[in-house]
Amino acid sequence: MTLPDSLANKAHLEFHWDADNEGLVWSEHGEPLQGLTGKGERVEWIIPSEFRDGREHTFYVEMACNGMFGVGKNGDDIQPPDMDRYFKLKQAEVVAVNLQARALKTDFWIIGGEFRSVEDCSADD
């Protein structure tokens, strides 16, 4: 990967990979860097600042053909493997992340959950 000049000066860069499966980002020297879970959950790897030098850099993404809890039918990890299960790459891109916006989104998500919790409580709780 070579980062374009338009991204090299952004404050925070991530590589997003999602194939609805477990994966692992490896350095070109065989060092594990970041585990990925897919399905929109843990799909990001923070791109090191050393990659902003305009030169080509290599990393690898190992794509395991299983979900977080194995390959059984309906996500059940004690069942035999689902032989009709397939994994499709949905996302592979470099993203410039606005960390303040991400933090605000998380704050609203947490606050929204707290308000729902209060609304769900009956007078007897």
Q: State which residues form the domain around 75.
A: 5-98
Say yes or no to pLDDT of 101 above 70: yes
pLDDT in tens, 8-39: 889 999 999 999 888 999 999 999 999 998 88
Residues ≥6 apart with Cβ < 8 Å to 39: 18, 20, 67
Give this prediction's pTM: 0.75
pLDDT tier at 116, thresholds 50, 70, 90: low
Whether 94 is in a domain gets the answer yes
Please give the tally of structural domains in the chain.
1
Whether 119 is in a domain gets the answer no
Whether 104 is in a domain gets the answer no
Least confident stretch, 34-38, 42-46, 79-83 = 79-83
Whether 81 is in a domain gets the answer yes
pLDDT tier at 72, thresholds 50, 70, 90: low
Whether 113 is in a domain gets the answer no
Whether 22 is in a domain gets the answer yes
CA distances from 106 to 18, 19, 35, 64, 95 (A): 20, 24, 21, 29, 18
